Amino acid sequence: MNDLKVLIVDDDKTNRRVLKEIVESMALVLFAKNGQQAIDKSVELQPDLILLDIVMPDISGFDVLNQLKNNPKVDHIPVVFITGKHENEIEERGLRMGAIDFITKPFHSGIVQARVYNHLQSVIQKKLLDHYAYIDPLTSIPNRRQFNARLQQEYLHALESNQILTLAIVDVDNFKLYNDHYGHLKGDQVLKQVAKAVENQMKILGGFVARFGGEELVILMPNTNAIEASSRLEEIRQSVESLEIPHIKNISDYVTVSIGYSSANILQKGHANTIFEIADKYLYIAKSNGRNQVNGQTSTIK
């Protein structure tokens, strides 16, 4: 099943039932009886494929497709139109609007099944590519590319909702000395363990963590002010030290991290990187003050 979800949108109960019987061996089946439900359920349930009836009483399939393609939350979901009779103009219009295929009624179950199967295979391929494009292969946490996309989203959200966005940079202390002493493969193990520990903490505390590069992780905590950030990041610092990974070239007996953060009050569009630069400055202060500590403040982005 691969956890795939197909949303069947048709105002006719019999059509929904027949399509369900054809599709259910390949994916979890979801239903919508009308256009509005189709839009709501697409946003809420994020199906992997939508089978969309064109002729419906409230909102037509064309209008539904139009709304889906204009909503960034669902514009990526492939849509297959269901049409009563084959008409070239209708098919061309649908394909130009972004539908990927057409299924004609009455349903030929073998053809419908083969088409849906092929489209679901493409979905699986795309998910795999997305996974490799957005996940760091060493630590299995999000990579810098995913972080950049997420930062843009959270920055805009914070600006629009007037919330404080905290960005933190977590840097393993004396990591070069660790690699020189223990070897790079052991160093890789440290990065994996640290990433896991930080990720686990973020799951509890709420927030997003990615590997920025080298021995640096980066954290986003939406709607989090400097006071909250400081105590959460202190927990993260402690969680790494309490892994008790020996590091005889460090200021502690164990592997530790320094953390710099900026809790940004955002008043201006388009300066997401400034938050990073400020956090980087505080990371530098944490390092020069002796490492294994958290340093940061509220900043205003204007």
Q: Select the residue interacting with Mg ion from 32, 38, 48, 53 (CB under 5 A).
A: 53
- Closest to Mg ion by CB, 105 or 211: 105
- Closest to Mg ion by CB, 4 or 55: 55
Can 24 be counted among the known catalytic residues? no
- Among the listed residues 215, 235, 241, 277, the single catalytic one is 215
Smallest distance from the beta carbon of 79 to Mg ion, in angstroms? Answer: 15
- Closest to Mg ion by CB, 8 or 233: 8
Give the range of 45-53, 170-178, 185-193, 194-202 binding Mg ion by CB under 5 A. Answer: 45-53
- Closest to Mg ion by CB, 108 or 131: 108
Does 11 contact Mg ion by CB under 5 A? yes
Distance CA 52, CA 17 (A): 14
Q: Select the residue interacting with Mg ion from 4, 55, 100, 135 (CB under 5 A).
A: 55
**Number of residues lying near Mg ion (CB under 5 A):** 3
Active-site residue list:
215
Site of interaction with Mg ion (CB under 5 A)? 11, 53, 55
